[in-house]
Amino acid sequence: MTMHSSLSDRLVSRLAGALVAVALSGGLSMAQAQSREEWIALGTRVHGGFGSFIPVGIRIGLDALQKLNAKPREVTVTFWAGPKAPCACPADGILIATTASPGQGSLRVAAEKAPEGLFAVAVITHKQSGASVKYTVAESWMPRLVEMNKTLDEAGRFDAVMKAEGLFQAELTPAKP
């Protein structure tokens, strides 16, 4: 077993376990989170904590659903962490916003890294139409996000990320006829 497959297996196991725990606890439906507090509760439950990288993924996932005119579970996601990113945490935010998951085969965290200069890349595709949106988050955001973790509480992190201007670039690829 390679290091990458072992890491992927552990990630899939952790995410699947967290999703089962949420479902069995009668907790919030991921697709129904509406308030900041609900997003924080879901992010904490799935990820084990709520740093600023989680709402980056939530914001990307929600934006993709809107741009693709899709409902949760109607998209697939491929996520690449940047070469200097400490983790693939935004993938957990995308997971709770879209309900794409490794267990369903609809969310994949790539073993390969995103290109230099990027903190994260996500491609989110509408299953039926084939339309997709490619999201890129510049590496220059990493120090700002780390500072949010040091200086803000969970609610402050959520608010700061959800209001951050220029957080990502989104490139829409329309459905093929």
Provide the pLDDT confidence category of residue 7 given band limits of 50, 70 and 90: very low
Distances (CA, A) of 14 to 7, 10, 17, 44, 101: 10, 6, 5, 13, 11
Identity of residue 68: L
What's the pLDDT score for residue 8? 42
Provide the pLDDT confidence category of residue 64 given band limits of 50, 70 and 90: very high
pLDDT at 175 over 80: yes
User: Domains of the chain: which residue ranges?
Assistant: 3-173
Mean predicted lDDT score pLDDT of the chain: 86
What's the pLDDT score for residue 1? 38
Domain 3-173, what fold? 60s Ribosomal Protein L30; Chain: A; (3.30.1330)
Contact between 156 and 148 under an 8 Å Cβ cutoff? The reply is yes
Residues 141-146, mean pLDDT to the nearest whole number: 97
pLDDT at 18 over 80: no
What's the pLDDT score for residue 177? 77
What's the pLDDT score for residue 114? 97
SS3 28: coil
SS3 169: strand
Report the 10 Å Cβ neighbour count for 156: 12
pLDDT at 25 over 80: no
pLDDT at 74 over 60: yes
Provide the pLDDT confidence category of residue 23 given band limits of 50, 70 and 90: very low
87-98 tens-digit pLDDT: 999 999 999 999
What's the pLDDT score for residue 32? 56
What's the pLDDT score for residue 176? 79
What's the pLDDT score for residue 16? 44
